[in-house]
Chain A
Amino acid sequence: MASRTVKRKSVVTDPVEPMVTPPPLSTDTTFLTKPKIAARSRKRDMPEGLWTKCPSCESLIYDKELDDNLKVCPKCGHHLPIGARERIHSLVETCSFEEMDAEMQSLDILKFTGAASYEAKLAAYKKKSSLLKDAVVTGVGVIGTHRVALGVMDFSFLGGSMGSVVGEKLTRLIETGSSRGLPVIIISTSGGARMYEGMFSLMQMAKTCGALALHGKLGLPYISVLTNPTYAGVIASFATVGDLILAEPAAMIGFAGPRVIKDTTQADLPEGFQTSEFLQEHGLIDAIVPRRDMRARLVYYLDFMMAGRRPA
């Protein structure tokens, strides 16, 4: 079956190459704190690619430290964006991830031209990232003791937007989960459907939900994890039909963007509107799980959800 070509590619090695090679690890903590002072006096001289300013608490974090902490600010716990491959690496057992459809790429089926051509956009994004061919990475891997069908979206590729590739890769992933009797886990981050593919993008919503409908009929689990940000076409499809819906802390999650809502209703938005915490309060989210606890928590849930299927 040509459609089931499984590309065996592991993410054993640290896939994210820092823009500048970090200096050797040192126990000298003065080295870590020094640029903070420098930054206060001469902000522009801050060496790029070595330090990141936390968007929440504004403290400077050494990139290596940030990477080791799964892109979570060690000072305030703010969750910064994390690439799909890095996230997969943080979840699966070493060498266990077999990537699927790694070569699948988007096609400018509508020959979308206008202010920007889709063709040019795609080319630019592919050039920018050698690690991503589109906005989702899918494959089968082992989390704890559970083999799972895992899909992880990446916001850095065209805002994580869902076009035919995202829809097709996720549908194949779900179908693989169904046929191999595996739980499906999808970790979302997306601005919504990809405009450039018009109605083909919208139809990916029905397609992925359809595949999940059949998956659910087999009594197999589907866990949806929402991360910052997840919106629109993705929130109105596979991301909200999980048996469990989890979210990272303080993620922005919603159907319509806050500005659209404000413009339409001319009303002030409530405090904390569209955050994970707000949505848990309003009954959508089962649990808010910090990134560094995610792996263990997924194992915990799967232990229960797969308990009935395990041979005694």
Chain B
Amino acid sequence: MKHHLDFEKPIAELQRKLEELKQHPENHSLGISWEEEIRLLERKIEDARRHIFSNLTPWQRVQLARHPKRPYTQDYLRLAFTGFEELHGDRMYGDDRAFVGGFAQIGDRKVVVIGTQKGRDTKENILRNFGSAHPEGYRKALRLMRLADKFGLPIVTLIDTAGAYPGVGSEERHIGEAIAVNLREMMLFNVPIIAVVIGEGGSGGALGIGVGDRVLILENAYYSVISPEGCSAILWKNRSAAPDAAAALRITATDLRQLGLVDDIVSEPVGGAHNDPAATAASLKDAVLRHLNEVSAQPVEERLRNRYRKFRSFGHVLEPSAQAA
């Protein structure tokens, strides 16, 4: 199965040619050797990729963040972490499969890792509810974070969700409250918290595991208060202005870094994370460890003070009286 976004098509086309060529190992009439021709084509693919990916629009990045081949939480658990064994359930209602979590090791650090999980195919997507969690997902996450805090293990969260699930059950079991409690509790955990937006950072559903000493974001991930489609529907009165909304909302990694809302960008290989999951995972592992070691070195009080101050500082207001004073 092949998935190509519109702007990936020129690359896909060249790749198809390359495949074709590889099937027919014979010299062509122009006097170029078969090997030479393959090299040329590979160079061309590389150039096209570099060109396309250095000029991505915010909307194209949103599409990359949602790419069906993009590595998900479990891919990183396999590629960047070792020894992960899943722990299940919120001890209250159920086991929300839109979240996975448990003990794992990253580099030489033992941690508790929690992430939202999308499905790879229809069957898995039904199981994972397309990565949109119900309240029990956030409560499972909270239970695991409390476990981490109790035993002094740092918390790493991987965020990839279009948002918390808007359904009747979600409301009946108070999805808003589940998220809000996480926001409050995450501010108080003594252990270091590193949050990484690996794909979609969908509003409150993302923030619900997103309060960290460091908040990182992958180069082609996005993090937004509302989906570009949702914003478009409300402000433009139709969903087709989503590309404009994506630009206006300033939701790309670079935008968020410039606005001071994320601490670091985790670089992806040219062509995006799905083009080389292993390299992306290595990059993520490197960034998580670097930041984890930095915040682990801080005394607990200082770390908690910094965490509070960081989120406390977000926002821009105009104060006429203060300016006059």
Please, how many residues of chain A have a CB less than 8 angstroms from a CB on the other chain?
70
- B75-101 residues with Cβ-Cβ distance < 8 A to A are none
**Contact A260 B251, beta carbon cutoff 8 Å:** no
A16 shortest CB reach to chain B, Å: 24
Q: Is B290 located at the chain interface by the 8 A CB criterion?
A: no
**Contact B211 A206, beta carbon cutoff 8 Å:** yes
**Contact A239 B319, beta carbon cutoff 8 Å:** no
Given contacts A2-B322, A5-B325, A103-B320, contact A204 B171 (CB under 8 A): no
| Contact flags A108-144 to B (C-beta < 8 A → 1, else 0) | 0110111110000000000000000000000000000
Question: Measured between alpha carbons, how far is A235 from B171 in the docked complex, in Å?
Answer: 11
A residues apposed to B, CB below 8 Å:
2-3, 5, 7, 101-107, 109-110, 112-116, 163-165, 167-168, 171, 193, 195, 197-207, 209-214, 216-217, 232-233, 235-241, 254-256, 260-261, 264-265, 267, 269-270, 273-274, 279, 282-284
Residues of chain B contacted by A201 (CB below 8 angstroms)? 225
| Contact flags B164-182 to A (C-beta < 8 A → 1, else 0) | 1111101111111101110
Given contacts A213-B188, A236-B179, contact A114 B241 (CB under 8 A): yes
Residues of chain A contacted by B317 (CB below 8 angstroms)? 104-107, 164-165, 168
B263 shortest CB reach to chain A, Å: 13
**Contact A217 B259, beta carbon cutoff 8 Å:** no
Residue of A nearest to B234 (CB): A195
B181 shortest CB reach to chain A, Å: 6
Residue of A nearest to B172 (CB): A282
Mostly, the A contact residues are: helix
**Contact B250 A199, beta carbon cutoff 8 Å:** yes
Question: Measured between alpha carbons, how far is A21 from B226 in the docked complex, in Å?
Answer: 43
The one of A202, A217, A241, A260 in contact with B203, judged by C-beta atoms closer than 8 angstroms, is A202
Segment from B143-151, B293-301, B306-314 that makes contact with A = B306-314
Given contacts A110-B249, A112-B248, A204-B314, contact A209 B180 (CB under 8 A): yes
**Contact A206 B311, beta carbon cutoff 8 Å:** yes
Bin chain B's interface residue count. Answer: 35 or more
**Contact B248 A110, beta carbon cutoff 8 Å:** yes
Q: Is B244 located at the chain interface by the 8 A CB criterion?
A: yes
The one of B244, B314, B320 in contact with A207, judged by C-beta atoms closer than 8 angstroms, is B314
**Contact A2 B325, beta carbon cutoff 8 Å:** yes
For B165, B171, B249, B250, which residue has the most chain A Cβ atoms within 10 angstroms? B171
Residues of chain A contacted by B256 (CB below 8 angstroms)? 199
The one of B181, B241, B249, B259 in contact with A195, judged by C-beta atoms closer than 8 angstroms, is B249
B58 shortest CB reach to chain A, Å: 12
Question: Measured between alpha carbons, how far is A20 from B255 in the docked complex, in Å?
Answer: 49
The one of A104, A107, A115 in contact with B237, judged by C-beta atoms closer than 8 angstroms, is A115
A93 shortest CB reach to chain B, Å: 25
Residues of chain B contacted by A115 (CB below 8 angstroms)? 235-237, 241
The one of B171, B181, B237 in contact with A254, judged by C-beta atoms closer than 8 angstroms, is B171
Residue of A nearest to B211 (CB): A206
Residue of A nearest to B309 (CB): A210
- Not counting A115-B235, A282-B172, a sample of 9 additional A-B residue pairs whose C-beta atoms are within 8 angstroms of each other reads A104-B318, A105-B317, A114-B241, A197-B225, A198-B224, A198-B225, A233-B204, A239-B180, A255-B176
Residues of chain B contacted by A171 (CB below 8 angstroms)? 312
A200 shortest CB reach to chain B, Å: 5
Given contacts A115-B236, A198-B224, contact A236 B175 (CB under 8 A): yes
A150 shortest CB reach to chain B, Å: 20
Closest 6 CB pairs of A and B: A256-B166, A164-B315, A235-B176, A209-B183, A203-B314, A240-B177
Residues of chain A contacted by B311 (CB below 8 angstroms)? 203, 206-207, 210
